[in-house]
Amino acid sequence: MATASIQFKHVKKSFGTNTVIPDLSFTVNQGEFITILGSSGSGKTTTLKMINGLLKPDAGEILIAGRPLAEYNLVELRRHIGYVVQQIGLFPHMTISQNIGVVPQLLGWEQDQIVSRVTQLLKLVKLDPGKYADRYPSQLSGGQQQRIGVARALAANPPYVLFDEPFGALDALTRLELQKEIKRIHATLSGKTFLFVTHDINEALYLGQRVLVMNRGRIEQFATPREVVAHPATEFVRDLLGTVRQNQELWGQGND
């Protein structure tokens, strides 16, 4: 039986008089790879930020591993939630090895344990430790920096990893390569719950085991990619899928 990992129960979030999320309820199971799909202003990033306490809900309840978020020490909780964003935020004065080892260092790991973990993670994200461990972020390409961002998020072996449009600033080929990598990494690391925010429908359908489609702070559909494509639940979801089909038609015309 599936174990609930993250639960939202009638969560509401406003900024001043603007209600971004009126009433949000959903459950993510342990080990799932969930993509949250929506356009700007849909509430997807706000949802993500409430999971690690960067934003606080105005009403309702969020549970992590069955325990109310309000009961957690947020500093401790965040050390056990990986977080990957578009602006990677690597420390420029630190080597790649030091960047990846930041959270283990804070958690008091032994130095040899940190070195071992860094080596393991560089291999996981397909960067040679011998070549990259002692480099600085400025010596890496955007795609390589984003791989380091993923490695850093996984450093303390967190049960949850949150991704906020991490590949949005990358070129199409690099983005495609990293999508394949992140899917492989999730498959390699059993039991880890990934939540991945994106406005790109192709990315959402490719990566997610289930796709949470949001619009104006509400859920339009929460289902497998196959179900979303075969049985769009609302007109909004049908319109989203229509943009993909339109692109496919354009490619078809290019072959005439």
Give the number of C-alpha atoms closer than 13 A to the C-alpha of residue 49, restricted to the C-beta side: 13
Q: How many whole angstroms separate alpha carbon 13 and alpha carbon 174?
A: 35
Instruction: Answer yes or no: is 70 within a domain.
Output: no
How confident is the prediction for the chain on average, in pLDDT? 91
Coarse DSSP helix, strand, coil percentages of the chain, rounded to the nearest 5 percent: 45, 25, 30
Instruction: Answer yes or no: is 212 within a domain.
Output: no
Q: How many whole angstroms separate alpha carbon 158 and alpha carbon 116?
A: 17
41: Cβ contacts below 8 Å, ≥ 6 apart: 20, 216
Q: Is pLDDT of 250 > 70?
A: no
Q: What is the pLDDT of residue 64?
A: 95
Q: What is the pLDDT of residue 100?
A: 94
Instruction: Answer yes or no: is 119 within a domain.
Output: yes
Beta bridge partners of 19: 14
Instruction: Answer yes or no: is 213 within a domain.
Output: no
Instruction: Answer yes or no: is 196 within a domain.
Output: no
Instruction: Answer yes or no: is 127 within a domain.
Output: yes
Local confidence band at 35 (pLDDT 50, 70, 90 cut-offs)? very high
pTM: 0.90
How many domains is the chain built from?
1
66: Cβ contacts below 8 Å, ≥ 6 apart: 4, 7
Local confidence band at 172 (pLDDT 50, 70, 90 cut-offs)? confident
Q: What is the pLDDT of residue 98?
A: 95
Mean of pLDDT values over 138-147? 91
Element (H, E) at 130: helix 129-132
Instruction: Answer yes or no: is 28 within a domain.
Output: no
Mean of pLDDT values over 110-136? 94
Mean of pLDDT values over 137-160? 91
Instruction: Answer yes or no: is 90 within a domain.
Output: yes
Give residue 65's region: left, alpha or beta (phi > 0; psi -120 to 50).
left
Q: Is pLDDT of 195 > 60?
A: yes
Q: What is the pLDDT of residue 255?
A: 53
209: Cβ contacts below 8 Å, ≥ 6 apart: 32, 33, 34, 224
Tokens representing residue 228 in the block: 């979303």
Q: What is the pLDDT of residue 87?
A: 73
| pLDDT tens string 77-116 | 888 899 988 777 889 999 999 999 998 998 899 999 999 9
Q: Is pLDDT of 58 > 70?
A: yes
Q: Which DSSP symbol is given to 57?
A: -
Q: Which domain holds residue 138?
A: 81-158
Inter-CA distances, 34 with 46, 93, 223, 234, Å: 16, 34, 10, 20
Local confidence band at 5 (pLDDT 50, 70, 90 cut-offs)? very high
Would you say 42 and 219 are in contact if contact means Cβ atoms under 8 Å apart? no
Q: Scan for tokens 């490619």, then name that residue.
A: 251
Beta bridge partners of 29: 4
Would you say 129 and 121 are in contact if contact means Cβ atoms under 8 Å apart? no
Mean of pLDDT values over 111-132? 93
Would you say 191 and 31 are in contact if contact means Cβ atoms under 8 Å apart? yes
Tokens representing residue 54 in the block: 């960067």
Least confident interval from 54-63, 143-152, 164-173, 233-242: 164-173
Q: Is pLDDT of 256 > 60?
A: no
| pLDDT tens string 199-243 | 999 999 999 999 999 999 999 999 999 999 999 999 999 999 987
